[in-house]
Amino acid sequence: MNAGALWRLLVIMVAVAEIAASIALVYCASRPLIVFQGSVKGWVSTTSYQVVVLGQPVDSQIYDYVRFMSVLIFLAAGLAIVFSFTALYSLLSPRWQRVTIPGIFASSLILLVALSITQALVKLILFEARHIEIKSVRTSAGLIEFPREKIILTQVYGLVTGKPLLILVLLSIIASAYVLYALPEEQGTTEAKRHI
């Protein structure tokens, strides 16, 4: 396998890895990260939430902020997918490689930022979840004690905070940096260098 074929294969692998990481981020952003059981019931994802305390829905400014900030995750994933597909297209049309291949490196950096934002939002979600509780309610009949709510972390939480997605993004950064570094020179510039 010559260097050009190896380079093309690496571009394809990086683009596929970035598309997979983007889809994983969108999936994680739209699925519940935590589930409440006990005196508090409901679930929370980065895009929406439903928390019910004693049969009454509860609004949370922090969860509303998380939902607003989750737009950045979708924008980053969308950009990464677009840059990856344009890099794949540039393999068919070599004249566009100088323009599109730097985009694949940029999209890997964008994915790292998106993953960092997602992890920060997940920490914020968990922080707020730990502060929603009902210890007791005083009624005319006396004091009613409620059992402590249970916070269940879903598998999506493990995917976002775990290492596999981070490793995939970091490997795509390293590989895309090499792809950018080893970008084949344009046909005209190599011929001009030979004549000099």
Confidence at residue 133, expressed as pLDDT on a 0 to 100 scale: 65
What pLDDT digit, counting tens, does each position of 137-173 carry?
A: 666 666 666 666 788 899 999 888 888 888 888 888 8
pTM, full prediction: 0.80
Q: How far, rounded to the nearest angstrom, does the alpha carbon of residue 155 sit from its chain's CA centroid?
A: 15
What pLDDT digit, counting tens, does each position of 38-77 carry?
A: 878 899 999 999 998 877 888 999 999 999 999 999 999 9
Rounded to whole angstroms, the Cα distance separating 3 from 67 reads 46
First to last CA, the chain: 30
